Amino acid sequence: MDYARVFKKHFLAKLVFRWAVSSLGLWIAQGILGSDHLKLGSGSWVTVLLAGLILALVNMAIKPILVIFSFPAIVLSLGLFMLVVNALVIMATSWLYSSLCVKNFGVAILAGIIISIVNLLVTKIIEGL
C-alpha cells in the first residue's frame, strides 16, 4: 500500500500522522533537551498527546501563513530562516497550551530542529514501507 498517497489524499489521515509525529518529536526533544528547558507538564502521555495535537494543528493552520509572510527572509537566508519559523510555531503552541513550557527562544529553535529530524526520519520510514 502506498502510505504517502493516502496521507496526501485524506485530511484526517494526514492530521493523525502529523499528530503522532509531533507528539513523538516533542517527547524526544524533551528527553534530549531536559525537562528544565522543555517541559511537558507532568510528562504523562496525555500531556504529550495534547501538546502534539496542538502543535500539529498550529503547523497545519498557522505555519503556512508564517512561511508566506517570511518568504523573502527564507530565500535570502537560503532556508535558514525556517528555523525561526519553526521556533515561532513551537512558542505559539506553548502559549496556547500552558502545560508545554519552553524556557526561551533558543530552546524552541533546538526543539524545532529535533522535531524536524524526527518528522523526516518517520516520513522516510513510512515511504519505504
Render pLDDT for 78-109 as a digit per residue (tens, 0 to 9). Answer: 999 999 999 999 999 999 999 999 999 999 99
pLDDT at 1: 57
Spatial separation of the C-alpha atoms in residues 89 and 84, rounded to whole Å: 9
Give the start-to-end residue ranges of the domains of the chain: 3-128
Average pLDDT over residues 26-50: 90
pTM tops 0.85, yes or no: yes
How does pLDDT run across 53-80, given as a tens digit for each residue?
999 999 999 999 999 999 999 999 999 9
For the chain, give the percent of residues with pLDDT over 70.
92
Residue 102 C-alpha cell reads as: 519552553
Which residues touch 99 (CB under 8 Å, ≥6 apart)? 40, 41, 42, 47, 50, 51
Rounded Cα distance between 61 and 11, Å, is 13
User: By mean pLDDT, which of 6-10, 36-40, 117-121 is the weakest?
Assistant: 6-10
pLDDT at residue 2, rounded to an integer? 61
Going by C-alpha positions, the residue among 39, 20, 35, 36 that lies closest to residue 119 is 20
Compute CA distances 86 → 23, 68, 72, 110, whole Å.
15, 13, 16, 10
